[in-house]
Every structure is written in C-alpha cells, then in structure tokens.
Structure 1
Amino acid sequence: MNPAPSDTLARPILAGVVTALVGFTSSFAVVLTGLAAVGASPAQAASGLLALCVVMGLASLILARRYRMPITVAWSTPGAALLAATGAVEGGWPAAVGAFLVVAALILLTAVWPQLGRLIARIPPSIAQAMLAGVLLPLCLAPVTGLVANPWGVAPVVLTWLVCARLAPRWAVPLAFVAAAIVVIVNLVAEGVAVDPALLLPHLELTAPTLTIGALVSLALPLFIVTMASQNVPGVAIMRSFGYEVPWRPAMLVTGLGTAISAPFGGHAVNLAAISAALAAAPEADPDPRRRWVAGASTGVSAVLLGAASTIFVALVVLAPEAVIPAVAGLALFAAFGSAVQQAIDDPGERLPAVVTFLVAASGVAILGVSAAFWALVAGLLVRTVLHAGRR
C-alpha cells in the first residue's frame, strides 16, 4: 500500500521547519550584534532582521520550486560577524546601508560577469579563511569574558550549550538561546520591568543610503568577499555533495536582488546557505532526492513566519542583562571559527601568510579609517607574494 501524499510530504516539510528554526535561532544574535555595531538603532536592527527573513524566505521558495532542488537562502552570518568587528564607519548607519547596496550590486555583477567570481576564487582560501577567523575571534571570546562579567547570567547559557553539544549538537546553540531568553525573562520579572506590547509589532524602517569611501573599502568589499568565499562557494559545494548542481547565475541573481531589496530596510546580505543547507538537502530530509525540494520551500515559508517575530527577538536582546546575548552570539560562531582556523593553517606552505592575515584581522586596528579586515587581506597577500616570488 503506497503512503498518502500528505504522509510523503510531512517529512521534508518538517525538515524545512527545522532548517529555518536552527538557522535563525543559531545566528540571529550575531546579525543583531553586527547591525548595531555599524550604527543601527534597535528599531532599525529589527527592521533589518525582518527584511532579511522575508527576502531569504521568498528566495528559498522561488529557487526551490523553480529548480526542484532543496536550495535554501540564508543571511550572511560571517558577514554579520564582520560588521560587528568593523564597527561604525564613516557616514554612520546610512553609509552602512549604502555599503549593503554595493554588495548587492557586486553579487549581481558576479551573475552577469563570471570573471568577477573567478577573481574572488583566486584569493587563496587560506587567506580568506584566516581573515574570517580573525574577524570571529573577538566575538568568540564573549562567552569567556561574559562568565567573568556576569557569571550568574552567562553560566546557565554556557552550561546549556555544553550539555546539548554532547547530547544534541544540532540544537546546542538554539537551546542556549532559550536559556538566555529565560535569564532575560527572570531578570525582567525580578526588576519589575514592563514591556509595551505595541513595541513588539513587526515593522520596516526605510533608510536613505549614502556612499562614503570609508564604508566602501572597510565594509562593502570585505563583506562581499566574506559572503562569496564563506557562504556562496561552500553552499554550492555542499549541495553538489548531495547530488544537486545549483544553477549559479540564477542563484546569484536572486540573492543579489534579495540583498538589494532588503538593504534599504537594514538587511546586510543574503546568500546561499552553507552549513544549514545540509539539513534540507541530506537524505534525512527525505529518502527520495526528487522530493527534497519541498524542504527548501518549507524553509522559505518558515523563515518568513519567523520574521514576523523579529521585534520580539530584538526586545530580548535590548532588555538582556550584561554579556548574556554576546555570549550566545559567541557560542554560535565557535564552529565557524574552528573551521576557518583549520582551513587557514591546513597547508604548511600557506601557513605564514595565513597567520599574518589572522593577526591583522584580529587586531581590530583601523588605518586611514579603513577596517582591519581589509588590511588583513592586503597584508596576507603581500606576505604571500614575497614568499612565493620566483617560485612556479
């Protein structure tokens, strides 16, 4: 007896819901931290979170249905970490929004002019990953410093993460966030703080963008490189490992347009999902590869619904006790940091340039108003050029 259609679709639909939940709860704190660092107010950060959720949800739905593949689109978590490490740029929040639009233009240019993608691919992976590791290091230290600054608030979060990392690794960060939410609620009740329900309604805030040289060099260029090297390229590779060949040009067109649409409302970048892509594309989503596209579509619908709660999550962040939310964000980036370090130093012949890149990026030093991430790339490529001079 063949199963009913509803039975066959239940599994990929549930896989899509899990993909969206894990992806959102594992990294939304990083996104809000990054947006706030470059000048967004809580309302503007909530607007950015909502815009990103809606855009990446619709993009996942469009690509999954059109190409019958479990293609999922996500926000750029490494890009958000880059924002947090960069901090305020020349021109403030409007200039940051302008940089987001430039990133969108570069992604679209990658779709119509493949040579740009090949140029990005020529950056040695060790240097690109070393830059990312250097950017992530200060954020990954937050759980450690948080335990000292606010042990009673941060310890439950870290302990929850540790236990779940042993018993249910996929849910370790989401459940650490649940622990953080409980800490926030207990603190609000203890202090008698009341929250106006009207402030929890989802809304969009439009920001008129401006363009500054500092924002373009410090933010737009590193954000584009990180998004391409740490999200889009690995995302295609992960999908290929499950037997799916992602259509590159349409994917870049959709994510580029999505970034352009979300940018004026505070969204920094959307791209192909990388780590969370496996949740929708793996056999666990459905034994039949031809039905797994439903998981991609379900991920999209779930992301849009999660966006409706964006202001609630922002309120939790704003009202949280000292160091609690940064600790969650740091825990969420542990895996990405470990992977970046491993790839940076994996090749002994590339290790020294990678170490230089990592140290410059981790230093956070800005020169001439340009962020450390840009100078890290310059330093790493310079050292590599000198060391490889005259070699075949």
Structure 2
Amino acid sequence: MGSVSTIRVLDPARAVLSIAAHATTIRANRIWGLFVRDISASAVMMGLLAAFVGYAASFAIVLAGLTAAGASDGQAATGLFFATLGMGICSIWLPAITRIPAAVAWSTPGAAFLASSVLLPGGFGEAVGAMTLAAALIVLTGIVPALGRVVAAIPKPIASALLAGVLLKLCLAPAVGLGVAPWLVLPVLVAWVLGMAVHRLAAMPLAVAAFVGVLVVTVDAGAMPPLAALSLREFALVPPVFTLRAFISVALPLYLVTMAGQNIPGFAVLELNGYPVVRQSFLRKTGLASLLIAPFGAIPVNMSAITAAMMSGEDAGADPARRYWAAITSGVVYMALALAAGAITTLAGLAPAVLITAVAGLALIPALVGSLSAAFADKSQTEAPALTFLIAASGMTLLGVSGAFWGVLAGVLIWTVKRLRP
C-alpha cells in the first residue's frame, strides 16, 4: 500500500514538471525564432565590413605595441590571438543579451601607448602585469560608479591631449619610414591616399593590401616559413610581474586612454543613435574579459566608436531593433580571424620594422587629428592641453614614471589654476 500511495503522489509532480519543461521548451524555441528572424542581409554585410576594416586598420598597431613591450614572436602571436578572441566573444555576447549593436574592439590607443612607451625593466612580464591591473581598473569602474565619475571629471581637452601625445610618435613613423626606406613605404602610402580619396574606410584595407604586395615582392621566397609554421601551435602564457612603477607608468595611462579614447566615445555613439546603454554593466563585462585574457599578453578590449558608428546607422538596416546582428556578425568574423594570429604574426615578422610601424602610423592618423581638434577646441584653455600633449609625446620618464602620467598631472593642475583665477 505504501508503494502505491507513493506512486500516486509522485505522478502529479512528474506531470507538473513535464508540463513546465514543455512550456520552457516552447518559450525558448519562440525566443530563438524571434532572434533568428531579426537577421537581415544589410546587418550581416555591415558586420562583415566593420570586422574587416577594424581588424585591417589596427592589427599592426597591436603587434607593434606588444613587440615594443618586450614580447617575443610567440608571445605576440598569443597576445594577438587572445585579444582577437576576446573582442569576438564580447561582440557576440553583449549584442545578444542587450539587442543593441554594442560593438567591441581591442584598445587601439592602448596598443599605441605601449608602442610609444619605454621598455619596462621587468620585460614583457611587467607589461603583462600592467595590462592586468588596467583591466582590473576597468572592472572596478563598472562596480564603483564614483570611479567612472572621477575619470569623466578629467577635462575632455586634457584627455584628448593625452591621447594625441600617445599617438604622435607612431603617427610620425610613415614620414620617418619614407626617409629611411622609400621603396618600401611609398607603395603603402600611395595606396592609403588612394583609398582615402575613395572613402576613408577604404584607406587602411588598401594600405594593408599594398603592404602584403610589398612583402611578396621584397621577401626572399626561401625565407618564407612552411605552412605548418604559420599556425599557432601553442600558447605562450606569461607570468605577470606586478610593480608600483608599472602601475603608475603603464597601467594608469593604459586605463585612461582606453576609457577616454574608446569606452566613452563608444557609449556616446550608441546613445547618439538612440540606443539605451547601461555603462556600468558594459564596463564590468568588457573589463572581466580583459582580465581573463591579460595573462596571455592581450591588450584590453573595450567599446568601439568607429565600428559602432558603422553598425548602429541606417546602413546596417532600416529597423534599428535588428541592427544588433551586425555586431554579432563582426564577433563571429573576429573569432575566425583569431585563428590566423600565428600566420599574421609570422608574416609580419618577415617585414622590416620600419614598414610595420609605418602601416600602424597610417591607421592612427584620423584618431590623431580628432584628438588634436578636441584638445584645442576651447580657445581659453590651450596651455593645459598643450603641456599635456608635449609631455606625453616626449617619451620622457621622471622618477621611473612615464610622461603620460606627468602630462595628465601637469595639464589638470594648470587647467584648475586657470579656472580658479579671478
């Protein structure tokens, strides 16, 4: 009797669970159907274009930054792989859960800062420690809103001048390379100018195509590695080295240029196009992704402004509610491009350093022009951003701390004094 009564009690419970599971399945299928139904050809095409332009325009900057920070070829390839993978995962994850075209990219200003910084005594391990701390600061900003307000309180001209100072050295590389090896740099420069004449988004893809052409013509066929050597066969994990010097000299400026040069403009682009943005949530998620990939030598990932402008406009579809598929498409492309990190790093290693830095510098010229314009937009406050720009661009170090930190400090001080002056 006991066993019969137990069965009678359990049967209704099983029935309820079965009905609930069936209803959940139906609901999930309905949501998935609506999700897939949002796909449009225009969004997919714009996502493909944005991913190609974003990657082609900046992979040389990332490699230049990692190499300047002391990374070996294997460490640079690993860093490029995880940075690409990080922005690919975030570019799928964030749009899928928010249904907005939340474009994610790696920190191009951060990579440019690493490329223009003095090599840390602790080598690449100390640089990895600084990148880890910068990622932790981004996570902390997403948790503590007051920290975000502190960053936002830095006058925009000072932040723009810092970014311009960080970019200047690399933007001079095309001119320097033209004087050192004109037969290498001139074809790339001409392709960039022709692309700019057609459309600014075509400039860097054409420059990269010319770069590949120069490699094909100038590199000895015998120096080309076998196909097996072009794959990323193992990851070069770098134990981070944490020092106060690296925190002040690299982590803080890297955090500031990532916030001022990427995250804040990226949020502004989405909001300008009418999309609701929960900034703290996005900062936590991209910061966490940056924290996970940092031990592999990857620069932080963050919100993107340029590709967000491409994927949140009408070119990505007539219906704003369906444009998030452009960002998801870009994420899928980034994850596929991550697999090419070994080949890209190997082929880039065959090119003369002057050619790599020239390509990276061309990609940063629009950002330099924009940051300089914003730095000196306020005609009553030109001294403070000018000093920030000059100190950051000088490459100087004082008490073991880089000029980027001292530039911001001097600029904020002068800005405040002028504001308080009667």
TM-score, structure 1 normalization: 0.95
Whole-angstrom distance in 2 between the partners of 1:239 and 1:50: 27
Residue 195 of structure 1 corresponds to 225
Over 3 Å counting, the alpha-carbon distance change for 1:383 and 1:315 in structure 2 is: same
Unaligned runs of 5+ in 1: none
Q: 2:128 aligns with which of 83, 97, 108?
A: 97
Which stretch shows the higher mean deviation, 29-38 or 8-17? 8-17
Residue 217 of structure 1 corresponds to 248
- What are the superposed Cα offsets for residues 171-204 of structure 1, whole Å, 9 maximum, x if unpaired? 1012101101111121124x63231323211242
Residue 209 of structure 2 corresponds to 178
Unaligned runs of 5+ in 2: 1-35
Matched, 1:117 2:148: yes
Q: 1:156 aligns with which of 187, 203, 213?
A: 187
One-letter amino acid of the counterpart of residue 354, structure 2: A
- What are the superposed Cα offsets for residues 143-163 of structure 1, whole Å, 9 maximum, x if unpaired? 111111111111000000001
Asked if the contact 2:104–2:302 (Cα under 8 Å) also holds between the matched residues in 1, the reply is yes
User: Once the 2 structures are TM-superposed, how far is the Cα of residue 316 of structure 1 from its aligned partner?
Assistant: 2.3
Whole-angstrom distance in 1 between the partners of 2:118 and 2:337: 27
Matched, 1:66 2:97: yes
SS of structure 1 residue aligned to 2:302: strand
User: Once the 2 structures are TM-superposed, how far is the Cα of residue 93 of structure 1 from its aligned partner?
Assistant: 0.8
SS of structure 2 residue aligned to 1:311: helix
User: Once the 2 structures are TM-superposed, how far is the Cα of residue 322 of structure 1 from its aligned partner?
Assistant: 4.8
Residue 298 of structure 2 corresponds to 267
Over 3 Å counting, the alpha-carbon distance change for 1:118 and 1:8 in structure 2 is: closer
Whole-angstrom distance in 2 between the partners of 1:42 and 1:31: 13
Count, aligned residues: 386
Matched, 1:362 2:393: yes
Residue 332 of structure 1 corresponds to 363
Residue 266 of structure 2 corresponds to 235
One-letter amino acid of the counterpart of residue 356, structure 1: L
The within-5 A match list for 1:234-383 is 234-383=265-414
Over 3 Å counting, the alpha-carbon distance change for 1:170 and 1:386 in structure 2 is: same
Whole-angstrom distance in 2 between the partners of 1:306 and 1:246: 28
Over 3 Å counting, the alpha-carbon distance change for 1:362 and 1:40 in structure 2 is: same
Whole-angstrom distance in 2 between the partners of 1:29 and 1:87: 19
SS of structure 2 residue aligned to 1:192: helix
Over 3 Å counting, the alpha-carbon distance change for 1:61 and 1:137 in structure 2 is: same
Residue 31 of structure 2 corresponds to none
Q: 1:25 aligns with which of 56, 62, 72?
A: 56
SS of structure 2 residue aligned to 1:27: helix
SS of structure 2 residue aligned to 1:271: strand
One-letter amino acid of the counterpart of residue 114, structure 1: P
Q: 1:54 aligns with which of 80, 85, 96?
A: 85
One-letter amino acid of the counterpart of residue 371, structure 2: A
One-letter amino acid of the counterpart of residue 374, structure 1: F
User: Percent identity among equivalent residues?
Assistant: 44
